[in-house]
Structure 1
């Protein structure tokens, strides 16, 4: 690290969670530094779909999914797949996932997710104003489409969940109603739900970089460094990098899919794995996309990125080491060309990102057990961009030892340890 006074807070990770948290800490008057192995938005925050998906409160682990999962997992190109080379490593994660599908845990996860979504939505409004970010925001809603009445009616419980948590939407039951919002859809899509308050960023990498500039222009530092050790020290935390030791009053671990490796330095085994997501970005739009499109039963979305389009999604449980299977991206593009009249499937750039995923679809947000000056903030799955501003406010409250505004018990780092009682998981 360059020769400056030791920071009051070091944030590990320059993705959307880390950068937004650093901004919130800086706003609180704390001298803050971000460390990252590569730089701002160089991993998952670079290539996601750009959606602030506040309507998505239902976790992947839901009652009944275990009956569907075997068929999905055995299809290497399906919406949910498990790479054979990673299957043995996934067993503990899958066991926790199975436990999270119980009706009681499912309902509790929805309530926790909805609370974090509500906080994040309000925090995003404040953040946009703080950084003059409105030019990077699109407010065009989201259309979630279904093939036929049976598929649509099967989705109604999830829409009712949204209604109970105050999310506005309109249900559409004819191709003509869909066409009024999005012309050019294949007539196979007959029903939909439209969420008018859904918003996107024009480009998730540009949004993260915009926040990073606001941070550095206000005196924050971002440095390229690999963290090799984290340990509690007198009145703070010590971090070891190739350049030496850094001492800070607090450390925030926001390293996305690599966060569990840092948690292990402190003796914690958190069942974090990756939902590997694939997409293809077209620099110019050959289809007039007017809203964010979600093809629920096919596991992918289409969004506007800059002047172009991004087609991406699916969930591949495959860890950090296996090479990408870009056939998954290709099949999504083929489907998009079939579903969107006139879409030209040529000339796109393929990408894969590592979504940091916990079995119950909730992130870890809280103090590291036994090291209360280390704050964990990771595991947001495909909702990192969505929940970044809310998570940042929670991190800032934890560092300042203020009441966070929502209960952090559902996000406790040790919630997967069956030896711990729920009553002990506070703060």
Structure 2
């Protein structure tokens, strides 16, 4: 990791001006990186991920191109023997967690993706996974929400009206919204909301960059991650989508689209013929806790407030099952997943009490 931080083309970067604010998060990250704790976190996330596909299927019945959701698995591609050796622990962990993976040699990779012939030495095919066109998929979910009776109420939340141990109303720039139950699921912006409710969790952001390539001249049969340079390459209708890199810079620093250029350069090492004309870069925020686990559960302060945020790199994957679990909590049902590892109070054991639960 230190080597990555001094390499401007590295997939990991820190804005050094943000380091003073980031330091408490980094300290907790180091604590959570102890081998025994990593093993616990891995088991916890694996258990939740095993429910993820069912959660999506319950929403959309089946993979549906019209909804921007596709089946077929994804490939971890290694261009060198050295890159494959470095990945050995991760591959063994996937196998130990019961994931359906298949180890491929160069010939096996070429049969799967002819365009990779002579460019990739090893591959790991991860079965039973979906991939998506984010815009089409989220639009389909929004339509499903309104078709089932949901209403969009645009506005900015600035405070809450609290009566006893309940939130009675959500105060927005469009007026007051009476509330029987409130779910905080605002991604990277969730921390300011829970602070307004009198508690806190150590949420920060891992800023990810992406590029949509409209006419790449490269045809893939499915998504892959080029592990030598940590760039995801996904075929979508009308082109390719590149995604990756991890920038620690908080919510307010402007995007550094040189990070997107790193993705294009990495992809061209695999596909020198790729046409990147008309590339459309973007930046998004991954809301992340230092232990890589989301917060899912009831507020420690208000009995009618529920928390669902901090999914890091797995928000897209775990969104549907998280919504299902929150629904079970609101209805008073037993949850299908043990939520103890995701409770917001877990951070009290990682530092001073005031870091986790603020005074009212």
Shift of 1:327: 0.7
Change (3 A) 1:85 1:187: farther
Q: Is the 8 A contact 2:160 2:167 kept in 1?
A: no
Q: RMSD across aligned C-alpha pairs, in angstroms?
A: 2.1
In the alignment, what sits opposite 1:181? 112
- Give CA-to-partner distance per residue, 1:85-114, whole Å, 9 cap, x none: 211111011011001111221111111101
**Partners of 2:351 and 2:209 in 1: how far apart?**
36
1:336 to 2:267 alignment? yes
**Partners of 2:64 and 2:99 in 1: how far apart?**
24
In the alignment, what sits opposite 1:247? 178
In the alignment, what sits opposite 1:162? 94
Q: 2:23 aligns with which of 88, 91, 104?
A: 91
Q: TM-score, normalised by structure 2?
A: 0.92
1:281 to 2:212 alignment? yes
Q: Is the 8 A contact 1:172 1:192 kept in 2?
A: yes
Q: Is the 8 A contact 1:185 1:341 kept in 2?
A: no
**Partners of 1:328 and 1:145 in 2: how far apart?**
21
Q: Is the 8 A contact 1:285 1:307 kept in 2?
A: no
In the alignment, what sits opposite 1:368? 299
- Give CA-to-partner distance per residue, 1:67-88, whole Å, 9 cap, x none: xx21212333311111112111
> Tell me, which stretches of 5 or more residues in structure 2 are unaligned?
none
Q: Is the 8 A contact 1:334 1:345 kept in 2?
A: no
Change (3 A) 1:363 1:385: same
Q: Is the 8 A contact 2:214 2:240 kept in 1?
A: yes
Q: Is the 8 A contact 1:100 1:360 kept in 2?
A: yes
Q: 1:117 aligns with which of 15, 27, 49?
A: 49
Count residues with an aligned counterpart. 351
In the alignment, what sits opposite 2:141? 211
Change (3 A) 1:186 1:276: farther
**Partners of 2:229 and 2:161 in 1: how far apart?**
44
Q: 2:32 aligns with which of 100, 111, 135?
A: 100
Change (3 A) 1:408 1:231: farther
Give the 3-state SS of the residue equivalent to 1:87 in structure 2: helix
* Structure 1 stretches of 4+ moved >6 Å: none
In the alignment, what sits opposite 1:172? 104
More displaced 10-residue stretch of structure 1: 402-411 or 335-344: 335-344
In the alignment, what sits opposite 1:17? none
Change (3 A) 1:133 1:339: closer
Instruction: Tell me: higher relative CO, structure 1 or 2? Use CA pairs within 8 A at least 6 residues apart.
Output: 1
**Partners of 1:401 and 1:380 in 2: how far apart?**
23
**Partners of 2:267 and 2:255 in 1: how far apart?**
20
Give the 3-state SS of the residue equivalent to 1:280 in structure 2: strand
